[in-house]
A and B are shown apart, each in its own frame.
Chain A
């Protein structure tokens, strides 16, 4: 049974608001990630993209609104049970355990798919060890897919930045997600690495038949692979459409260029955004 039969449900964000004291980080935002699409969430720094991710994965509790995966309401579920629903997430800052091996890092993604407490592992119960080996093999397979098979037993901290990004992605894939959430997967990468990352994300969607929700600053990457784009600015949704329309949306251009409309569109936006990135 191949994974294109994974039961992928639409991820619906419905009127979600996230507040921190007086700050409204996400303001009544709605969008739907259709099954097997690459959906990009873009916007200037501080627009609320990461907060939106955190609301979806239950790290932040929305002040109002809800998130649904198919018919399942994710909002209000204990946050550690959301992974089990098929949400895999890679992080904006490298959030690996530097002293642990790549395999150990990636195996964290299997946490919600495995069982066994302290004594079961401590006594190395046969079925616990059998489960562990089966899941390690699967994790190794995913690492192989990500081009990390020669690094399995290397401490994650010893890897190059690009490799660490891939470990983070492999860990998210180890959840066996139906919706893969990527927070700035190409941050800090040069243009050829970015192109490779774009190809990888595209392949992942095609091979696994999963949805991808993507936060990314690199416009060339987003415009190249996204099926649909939601644009946030100061926590509000200012646009939600296909890339060709977004590229020409005056409000989006205004948000990115601080009010100076520019017909050259894409490249100017990318320049504006990459300068933001360095200041971040």
Chain B
């Protein structure tokens, strides 16, 4: 480090020069988040004890959407690359995991790998697929890139139609193995494990699994965005010339941002097949369904509502966009998510109205989204 030191820099008029120069925050400012995390982890650990199974399922669905949206919000909000292709990576992740983890038979291709290996393999393969999009993503910008990436959703629909031995035969879907590590099966339906006298069955275990993955995805993304990687991406987003002059390889970082976003999409895709216990009819329709243009836009909506670039915001956005349609029927006591009559305010219609209105309000009043509102609240409390 000795060659990077200024010898006795003379004080400029504004320099205070009394305290030693350091960028570090106070001990209190560093310890407080740790306590917060400890409390959050304890709450997440105990949630399955107190929250009924159908609500755990809602929370899991929110987390699956949240992970996909975290990848997308880093890509759009931090690296400045528009994408409407995230539903494709959801599908790619789901299919890849299913193929890697499921056993092959006469109808389906499968490798029967241990679920942990399949999970990690899926994340890597999804990331590589995102990187393979680099020749396109590096050349296009803004809405053109959005449209080009949207074509991936159509490609996914087409491929899953053409390759039923991978994605499941027409409109039936395909079973995917639940997660397990040696000694702990997250799909256990007949549990011996009791926590505070509550049996921890499949729903409870799935919550733990999803919460764990979401927390890891959040922490990893947050660490990267706070550090050198995020700084490079933000520079690429705001001014490519500045980024280049400061040593950032603009095409390289764009490709990496796409790869990371896709890897998050792939992980979320695995969570989705766990949630459904399989691939849900990827070849049913391109505009509605689990891997449709509708989902891709819903994921974008989560990012905008949460505040582009904010990882916490992405989860909050998912709570609204993915959570509301499932939560409303539970709250009102009806158990339909789709009303056959088509005229009533079904949960889906209400959700669409809510997130439509929210997007308009956010664009008008708080472009930083829910994350921006959170910052404002925190500043109010500090004062």
* Residue in A closest to B232 when the chains form the complex, CB atoms: A111
Q: Report the interface size for chain B: residues with CB under 8 A from the other chain.
A: 50
Chain B residues with CB below 8 A from A276, complex form: none
Whether B245 pairs with A82 at a CB distance below 8 angstroms is yes
Q: Residue B13 contacts which of A89, A104, A136, A147 (CB distance < 8 angstroms)?
A: A147
Task: Please judge, given known A-B contacts A137-B21, A147-B13, A207-B9, whether A122 and B249 are in contact too, CB under 8 Å.
Answer: no
Tell yes or no: A164 within 8 A of B by CB.
no
Nearest CB on A from B261, distance (A): 11
Number of A-B contacts (CB under 8 A): 161
* Complex interface: stretch among A11-19, A95-103, A230-238: A95-103
Question: Measured between C-beta atoms, what is the minimum distance from A98 to chain B in Å?
Answer: 8
Q: Is B180 an interface residue (CB 8 A)?
A: no
Contacts of B176 in A (CB 8 A): none
Q: Is the CB of B1 within 8 A of A78?
A: no
- Contact A58/B244 with A3-B7, A122-B220, A203-B10 known, Cβ cut-off 8 Å: yes
**CA A109 – CA B232 in complex, angstroms?**
10
A119-B21 contact in complex given A57-B245, A141-B6, C-beta closer than 8 Å: no
Give the residues from 129 to 167 in chain A that come closer than 8 angstroms, CB to CB, to chain B: 132-134, 136-150, 152-153
Quick check: B231 and A122 within 8 Å, CB to CB? no
Is B12's CB under 8 angstroms from A145's CB? yes
Q: How far is the CB of A177 from chain B (nearest CB, A)?
A: 11
Nearest A residue (CB) for B3: A1
Is A127 an interface position by the 8 A CB rule? no
In the assembled complex, which residues on chain B have CB atoms less than 8 Å from the CB atom of A143?
21
User: Is A123 in contact with B220, judged by CB distance below 8 angstroms?
Assistant: yes
The CA-CA distance from A156 to B305 in the complex, in Å, is 24
Residues 248-278 of B contacting A (Cβ, < 8 Å) = 248-250, 252, 256, 260
Residues in B with CB closer than 8 Å to A58 are: 244
Q: B224 to A136, Cβ gap below 8 A?
A: no
Q: Answer whether residue B116 sits at the interface, using C-beta atoms and an 8 A cutoff.
A: no
A-facing residues in B332-352 (Cβ within 8 Å): none
A80 at the A/B interface (Cβ < 8 Å)? yes
Nearest A residue (CB) for B18: A149
Contact A91:B242 (CB < 8 A) given known A108-B235, A111-B231: yes
Known contacts A111-B228, A122-B219, A122-B224: A145-B246 contact under CB 8 Å: no
Q: How far is it, in angstroms, between the C-alpha of A114 and the C-alpha of B4 when the chains are bound?
A: 13
How far apart are the CA atoms of A109 and B248 in the complex, in Å? 10
Q: A124 on the interface (CB 8 Å rule)?
A: yes
Chain B neighbourhood of A95, CB < 8 A: 238-239, 241-242
Contact: A121 with B238, CB < 8 Å? no
- Which residues from A are CB-within-8-Å of B242? 91, 95, 108
| Cβ 8 A contact of B238, one of A97, A113, A141, A145 | A97
Contact bitstring A67-95, B, C-beta under 8 A = 1, else 0: 00000000000111111100101010001
Which of A121, A149, A176, A200 has a CB less than 8 Å from the CB of B229?
Answer: A121
- Interface residue? B27 (CB, 8 A): no
Q: Out of B1, B8, B22, B246, which one reaches A109, CB within 8 Å?
A: B246
From known contacts A144-B15, A147-B13, infer whether A1 and B229 are also in contact, taking CB-CB under 8 Å: no
Q: How far is the CA of A5 from the CA of B3 in the complex (A)?
A: 9
Contacting pair A111 B21 (CB below 8 A): no
What residues on A are CB-neighbors of B14 within 8 Å?
A: 147-148
A140 to B220 Cα, complex, angstroms = 25
Which residue on A lies nearest to B250, using beta carbons? A80
CB proximity of B89 to chain A, nearest CB, Å: 16
Q: Complex: how many Å from CA A116 to CA B226?
A: 13
Q: Are A139 and B228 in contact, with the CB atoms below 8 A?
A: no
- Once the chains are docked, how many angstroms separate the CA of A103 from the CA of B24? 10
Cα–Cα distance between A148 and B14 once the two chains are bound (Å) = 8
CB distance from A115 to the nearest CB of B (A): 8
A220 beta carbon closer than 8 Å to chain B: no
| B12 with A200: CB separation less than 8 A | yes
Q: How far is the CA of A82 from the CA of B248 in the complex (A)?
A: 10
Are A121 and B247 also in contact (CB < 8 A) when A59-B241, A111-B232 are?
no
Contact for A140 among B21, B239, B244, B247, CB less than 8 A: B21
* A118 adjacent to B229 (CB under 8 Å): yes
Q: Which B residues are CB-close (under 8 A) to A112?
A: 246-247
Q: Which residues of the other chain, A, contact B36 by a CB distance below 8 angstroms? A: none
User: Could you tell me the distance between the alpha carbons of A109 and B239 in the complex, rounded to whole angstroms?
Assistant: 14
Determine the chain A residues whose CB is within 8 A of the CB of B250 once the complex forms.
80
A41 at the interface (CB under 8 A from B): no
Name the B residues within 8 Å of A2 (CB-CB).
Answer: 5-8
Contact A121-B223, Cβ < 8 Å, known A107-B231, A146-B12:
yes
Q: Evaluate whether A80 and B249 lie within 8 angstroms (CB atoms) in the complex, with A3-B7, A145-B6, A176-B4 already known.
A: yes
Q: Mark A228-262, 1 if CB is under 8 A from B, else 0.
A: 00000000000000000000000000000000000
The one of B23, B220, B234 that contacts A152, using a Cβ cutoff of 8 Å: B23
Q: Is B190 an interface residue (CB 8 A)?
A: no
Contact B7 A97 (CB under 8 A): no
Provide the bound-state CA to CA distance between A147 and B7, in Å.
Answer: 17
Give the distance to chain A from B264, nearest Cβ to Cβ, in Å: 11
**Chain A residues packing against B (C-beta within 8 Å):** 1-6, 54, 57-59, 78-84, 87, 89, 91, 95, 97, 100, 103-104, 107-114, 116-119, 121-124, 128, 132-134, 136-150, 152-153, 171, 175-176, 196, 200, 203, 207-208
Residue pairs across A and B with Cβ atoms less than 8 A apart, 10 shown, are: A5-B3, A100-B231, A117-B229, A119-B220, A122-B219, A122-B224, A134-B1, A207-B7, A207-B8, A207-B9
Chain B residues within 8 Å of A, Cβ to Cβ: 1-10, 12-17, 21-25, 219-221, 223-224, 226-232, 234-235, 238-239, 241-250, 252, 256, 260
